[in-house]
Amino acid sequence: MPMTEAGRDEGARTVTVSRAAAELELKRGEFGLAVHLGIIRVDVPQAGGRARVRREEIDRLKSQDGFPETLRERVCTVGTAEGARLLGISPVRFTRLARAGCVTPVAFYLNRYRAVVWLYLAQELGGLAARSPELLVGTSPPWMRSRLDAGTDCRARNWRSRRIERLLILAEDPWARAAVVAEALDPVQLAEVVDDPYERSYFGRIRPEPAFGQRGSAAGREAMAQLMLADEPDEILWRRVTLGMELDSARELRPAPRPGEERWPGQVGEPVGVMSGESEASAEPAVPVGPMGSAGPTGPGLASAERPESVTQEGGGQGGWQGGEDGGGGGTPGLLARLRLRRTGGRRRPRQAAGSRGNPFATETRARHSLHHADQGSNR
């Protein structure tokens, strides 16, 4: 089947996430949450690119009873005030329940004061009221009071654990699973577990992304990165052990790509950064030198030990430019090079006339004149 027909057939069987959200009558945030919770299945190309939704998946969700209200109820989120109203308690008591770990946030956003506002699934709050009604009335149990008196706040940790668990379920590639766990460790902890900078750099490229890509403000992305870091000693130890096991499984499958080995998504047959006509040595990407594995800026003093050895040129130094001055790299020498070859070793270069300094036409005229006399001398 021709490539154009195959692409047209694939486009007919799948739609973009924006089109799927519109057909399912969901907002972008609701659709992204539905994908994260596993309510909506999406196809992520292995060669890279944006996720797409199959037409069969959209038809399956549309055929459910009560569509679209039932689908919206499954991804409906509420804040503290709305959650307290649903449970019939005060916002202060709801906050105490959340801090003690009785309810787990599913998302968050930053308000205008850049404070974290946690969001909870409305259906889970209803389950809490049916499962533990004693938490909503009367005095708090002793274990809850001891946690709160110690200043414990389980909201960030519970959200982080929930997010990592969901991403591990959605990730199939072992390297992607290791990248998900690595996101919970700070640069120092990560460098202690993963000492290879190429593997740390690979984590940032293979880590699963949201359905609509990385969006939001810079402050929101920074808050996300901070909230993803484990801050309790027991959690840090658990993430380190889990990362070690996931990393062992990934290394057994395949090693992390090295410069010149990895391919860009969608490029078949060409290594990273190597265009047609380029050598692999000249197109080597920057060596990741930071603890987070991100590729740092290239410079004369960065990662000199990881750079390939320079090739010894015949009749010259290592890695030096051996071509002629006319820009040729090894063909016929240029005009000035031929003139210098015809000069004797003891003859000095004639002094440039004062009136012709900086004049390119005078320089070219003298070059032609010298070449003419040199040719006459050779014919005698």
For 243-296, write each residue's pLDDT tens digit.
999 999 999 999 999 887 755 443 333 333 333 333 333 333 333 333 333 333
- Contact assessment for residue 287 and residue 273, using Cβ atoms and an 8 Å cutoff: no
Q: What is the dihedral of CA 93, 99, 101, 105, to 10 degrees?
A: 100
pLDDT at 95: 96
pLDDT at 339: 53
CA–CA separation, 79 vs 160, rounded Å?
18
pLDDT of 62-104, one tens digit each?
999 999 999 999 999 999 999 999 999 999 999 999 999 999 9
CB atoms within 10 A of CB 233: 8
Length of the chain: 380
CA–CA separation, 294 vs 203, rounded Å?
9
User: Which run of H or E residues covers position 114?
Assistant: none
Tell me which residue of 250, 252, 262, 251 sits closest to 174, measured CA to CA: 250
pLDDT at 4: 53
| Residue 326 pLDDT level (bands cut at 50, 70, 90) | very low
pLDDT at 327: 40
- Residue 134 is which amino acid? E
Which 3 state secondary structure label does DSSP give 117?
Answer: strand
Cα radius of gyration (the chain): 33
CB atoms within 10 A of CB 12: 9
Minimum mean pLDDT among 139-143, 196-200, 221-225, 331-335: which range? 331-335
| Residue 313 pLDDT level (bands cut at 50, 70, 90) | very low
The tokens for 8 are 């047209």
Q: Report whether pLDDT(224) > 80.
A: yes
Q: Report whether pLDDT(355) > 70.
A: no
Q: Which of 266-280, 294-308, 366-380 reaches the highest mean pLDDT?
A: 366-380
